[in-house]
Structure 1
Amino acid sequence: MPAVGLIVNDGKDLAVRTAASIEARLTAAGHQVVTASSSGGMVGFANPDQHLRTLGYAACVPAGFHSDMVLAIVLGGDGTVLSAARQTAPIGVPILTINTGHLGFLAETYLQELDQALERVMNQRWTVEERTLLVVSVLRGDLRRWEVLCLNEMALHREPLTSMCHFEIAVGRHVPVDIAADGVILSTPTGSTAYALSAGGPVITPDCPVLQLTPIAPHSLASRALVFSDEEPVTIFPATPERLMMVVDGSAGCYVWPEDRVLIRRSEHRARFVRLGEHEFFGVLRNKLGWGLPHVAKPEGEGGVTG
C-alpha cells in the first residue's frame, strides 16, 4: 500500500477541513495516509537562558514519515511550506504544496484546482524539482549549540534599540571581510525573492548554484549584495560586544553571542517540490510580485500629471 504524507497548518480551519477531505479520497484509492502538523518544522526561537537546540535537523521529521513515501501533500501558506521542507528533506520525500494562505509564492496549486491535482497524483503524472537547502549551525569552539535546515534565508541582525553591528564574514577560502550594518542575510536562490529582495538583493533563478550575501541597512556605499558559488561555506563572526538575533526562514532562530560563530553550508539534502506541469519561474514573478508587467501611462484626466 503506497504511503502518502499530509502536512497541515492545523491552526487554520480551512487547511484542516481540506486535509480531512484529501485523506478520505486517498484512503479510498488505496493509499496509506500519515498526517502531521506543520508546527513540527517550526523550530521557534530558543530561550537565551536555556541550552540551545542541540538535536540535529533530522529531529524535525514527523513520526511515521519515512523515505519510502510517495510524496507529502502540504496544506497552508508559504510559512507552512518552509516548515514542511525541514520535515521532509532529510528523508528525501517530495512535497506537493497546496496554498490555503495568502501570497502562496511557493505554492504549486490552489484549492480550486484540488480535484485535478489529486487526479494527477494518483495517476503518477508529476515530476520533481529540487531546490538548494542550507545547514545553519551555531558553534562555540568545537561545540555545536544549535542547527537547522534553511530553504529561504538566514538573517543575523542587531536587537531593537541597540547600535549598528560589525560582522566579520569568511566566504570559503577567500579573505574575510568586515561589514558594518544592522544585519546580514545569507540566502538561497529560493530565498532571493523573500527577505533578501526587500533588502535590495537581486532575484536569482532557482537553478543557479549560488548563494547571496546581502547587508541590511549597511553603513557604506561599498557594501552591496554579493553572489557566489554555493560550494563555498560561509562563517560569520559577530564583531560586536552585544548579543545578536538570528532568524532562519522566519520560524526558527536563536541568540548569537560574541563568543559564537555561525556556519552556513549547502546541505547534502535538497527540498523536493512536486510539479504538476512545467514550472515557469518568470510567470510566478509576474503573477506574485508584478515583475515585468508593462507600464501603461494614465491618460489625461485619470490622475496623470499634465504639463
Structure 2
Amino acid sequence: MPKPKAGIIYNDIKPTACQIAAEIEEMLVACGWNVAKATGLGGILQYASPESPVCHTSIESLVPPNFDKDIAFTLVLGGDGTVLSACRQIAPLNIPLLAINTGHMGFLTETYINQIPQAIEQLLAEDYEIEDRSMLAVRVFREDSLLWEALSLNEMVLHREPLTSMCHFEIQIGRHAPVDVAADGIIISTPTGSTAYSLSSGGPVVTPEVPVLQLAPICPHSLASRALVFSDTEIVNVFPATQNRMVMVVDGNGGCYIVPDDRINISKSQFNARFIRLKSPEFFRILREKLGWGLPHIAKPTSVELP
C-alpha cells in the first residue's frame, strides 16, 4: 500500500518558516508520510511592464511540479501573502491547506507555530473541517487575445497611474446595463477580500459563505457611487473609458497595464481555496481579534452627582 502524501509550502525568505518546514517534514516522514515541498515564490504573480505588456502565466501552470491530487493536505508556513500564493498554487488540485502564521497580521492563517504538534495530531487523525472560499478568475483581453490571467482570493483592483487624473470605468455586470463610474479606481472582491482593500475603501464586510461579489469605487467623484454587492454567478466585464493608461493589480501581488482597447473579464473561478479549520469556523471571532470589530465599549461612567 503506498504511503500517504502531504505537502508543505513555505516562505523561503523567512528563516523561521524554513526551519519549521524542515521540522514538520521530519515529523511527517517519521509518521510514514511522503512529503512534497515547494516555496510560495512559485505562486507569485508576474507583472507586465510598458516595454513588455504581455506577461502571461496560465492559472494551471502555477501548480508546483512535485504536487499532485494524491496530496491529502498542505501546510502553509508564512503570512497572508504566502497563503494567497499557496491558494493559487494548489487550488487547481483541490487540495485543502492548513495555514500556520509566521508573519504579522495572519488574517487568513488558522494556527501558530507553538500549536504545531497539536495541529499535526489533528491532521493525521482527520479531526478537522474544511471551509471552501470562492476565488476569482481574472483575465485581460485585447480584442480576442488573452494577455494575462490569474486566480484571486481577495480582489482585482484597477486604478489610475500616479500623477494622472481621475478615470472613468465602464462596468457591465451580467446582462445588466453598463454603468459608468468616475473614480481613482475600482475594486472587485470576493467575500474573503471584503476584509482587505475593499474594507479600506468603504465596502461592507461579507461573511465567507455568502455567494456574492462586490464592487467598491476608490475615491469616487460622485456621492451616488457606493459599494455594490451582487450574485457571484454574474460575469463582470470592465472597459477603460478614458485615454489614460491604467494599472491592474490582483491580490496586491501582480498585474499588468490596461490600455483603452483592453477588456477585463472577472468571474467566479471553478476552483475554490480550501482552508482546514481545526475548530468550527468563527468569522466574527477573527474580525474581533484581527480588526477589533465588535469589541465591548469602554465602560460607561457611573452616575455623577451634580454640584
TM-score range, shorter chain: over 0.9
> Take 2:6 and 2:120, find their aligned partners in 1: how far apart are those partners?
12
Query: CA separation in 1, counterparts of 2:10 and 2:47?
Result: 21
Equivalence for 1:285: 287
Deviation of 1:54 (Å) = 2.9
Amino acid at match of 1:270: N
Shift of 1:122: 1.4
Q: How does 1:62-211 map to 2 (within 5 A)?
A: 62-211=64-213
Query: Aligned equivalents of 1:53 and 1:272: distance in 2?
Result: 28
Amino acid at match of 1:199: S
Q: How does 1:38-77 map to 2 (within 5 A)?
A: 38-77=40-79
Task: Output the amino acid matched with 1:170.
Answer: Q
Unmatched runs of 5 consecutive residues or more in structure 1? 301-307
Residues 192 and 202 in structure 1, CA contact (< 8 A), matched pair in contact too: yes
Measure the CA separation in 2 of the matches of 1:271 and 1:107.
13
Distance (Å, rounded) in 1 between the aligned partners of 2:80 and 2:52? 30
TM-score by length of 2: 0.96
Deviates more, 1:51-60 or 1:281-290: 51-60
Unmatched segments (≥5 aa) in structure 2:
303-307
Alpha-carbon displacement from aligned partner over 1:101-138 (angstroms, at most 9, x marks no partner): 00100011111111100111111111211010110000
How far has the Cα of 1:50 moved from its partner? 1.6
**In structure 2, what is the equivalent of residue 34 of structure 1?**
36
The one-letter amino acid of 1:52's match is: V
Partner of 1:305: none
Q: Between the two proteins, what is the percent identity of the paired residues?
A: 57
CA distance in 2, matches of 1:32, 1:48: 44
For 1:27, the aligned partner's letter is V
Give how far 1:184 is off.
Answer: 0.0
Which segment is superposed worse, 20-29 or 45-54? Answer: 45-54
| Structure 1 match to 2:274 | 272
- Cα deviation per residue 1:216-263 (whole Å; 9 max; x = unaligned)? 000000000000000000000001111101110011211111110100
Q: 2:232 is matched by which residue type in structure 1?
A: D
State how far apart, in whole Å, the 2-side matches of 1:252 and 1:228 are.
25
CA contact (8 A) 1:53 1:147 kept: no
Calculate the aligned-residue CA RMSD, in Å.
1.1
* In 2, Cα distance between equivalents of 1:199 and 1:297: 30
Counterpart residue type for residue 46 of structure 1: A
What is the match of residue 263 of structure 1?
Answer: 265
Count how many residue pairs are aligned between Structure 1 and Structure 2.
Answer: 300
Equivalent residue number for residue 237 of structure 1: 239
In 1, Cα distance between equivalents of 2:299 and 2:247: 44
Alpha-carbon distance between aligned partners in 2 of 1:134 and 1:151, rounded to the nearest angstrom: 6
Q: SS in structure 2 opposite 1:44?
A: coil
Report the Cα offset of residue 297 of structure 1.
4.9
Asked if the contact 2:157–2:250 (Cα under 8 Å) also holds between the matched residues in 1, the reply is yes
Q: Quote the offset at 1:299 in angstroms.
A: 6.1
Aligned to 2:13: 11
Q: Which residue of 1 aligns with 2:305?
A: none
Single out whichever of 42-51 and 184-193 deviates more from structure 2. Answer: 42-51
- Is the deviation greater in 196-205 or in 247-256? 247-256
Matched position secondary structure for 2:209 = coil
What secondary structure does 2:71 align onto?
A: coil
Which aligned runs of 4 or more in structure 1 are off by greater than 2 angstroms? 297-300
Q: What is the SS of the residue equivalent to 1:45? A: coil
> Once structures 1 and 2 are overlaid, which stretch shifts more, 213-222 or 274-283?
274-283
Which of 11, 23, 26 is residue 25 of structure 2 equivalent to?
A: 23
Cα deviation digits, residues 118-169 of structure 1 (max 9, x gap): 1111111112110101100000111100000000000000011110000000
TM-score normalised by L of structure 1: 0.96
